[in-house]
Amino acid sequence: MSLFETLSEMIDLRSFSNLWYWIALAVLWSTLSHRILGVPFDMVARARKYGGQPAQDLEDLVRINVNRMMFVVHSAGVWLLGLACFVLSVLATLGFALNVETAQAVFLLVFPLSLVVLINLKTAQKVIHQEARGEELYKAMTTCRLLIQLLGMLCIFVTALWGMFQNLNIGPLGG
């Protein structure tokens, strides 16, 4: 066997059978569930445990990130929503109507991101309207993290099922 044949057998370039796709999926959801409203979640545990300066740092960081998010939403939210809908529509059409496996894989990575953005925006609005501080802020961030983790488990499950169907060639669009 030549070097090229060996590498071709080791590295399958189809999306759902590529190890790097699954590593990227795991890293994506790990990162999304660790950073809530742009703040590392370990800061919540530290603020809850020690109070004082760690709590003040958390509140300041959340305030800064929430204000940034709301500024972007108010200044360019409609354009970003339109762009996101366009990209998701193109990926869904290419992937599921035209059976392009790479587009399916990217869609199954990107679509859940839009749901995470919505969860984060809803939490940010809640923090702003309630002027959440202390335990109220910790609870809002913990709830947001739990929702993102549940969404992550569901999306990983759905992606794994779809990937198995594609790899076994018994999927709805398989053959």
Residue listed under structure tokens 């587009």: 103
Residue 170: inside a domain: no
Residue 29: inside a domain: no
pLDDT in tens, 61-91: 999 999 999 999 999 999 999 999 999 999 9
Question: Average pLDDT, stretch 164-170?
Answer: 79
- Structural domains of the chain, count: 1
Residue 151: inside a domain: yes
Q: Which domain holds residue 135?
A: 41-163
Residue 172: inside a domain: no
pLDDT in tens, 15-57: 788 888 899 999 999 999 999 999 999 999 999 989 889 999 9
Residue 12: inside a domain: no
Residue 35 CB contacts under 8 Å (≥ 6 apart), including other chains: 41
By the 8 A CB rule, do 18 and 109 touch? Answer: no
Residue 118: inside a domain: yes
Residue 152: its pLDDT value, please?
96
Residue 11: inside a domain: no
Residue 77: inside a domain: yes
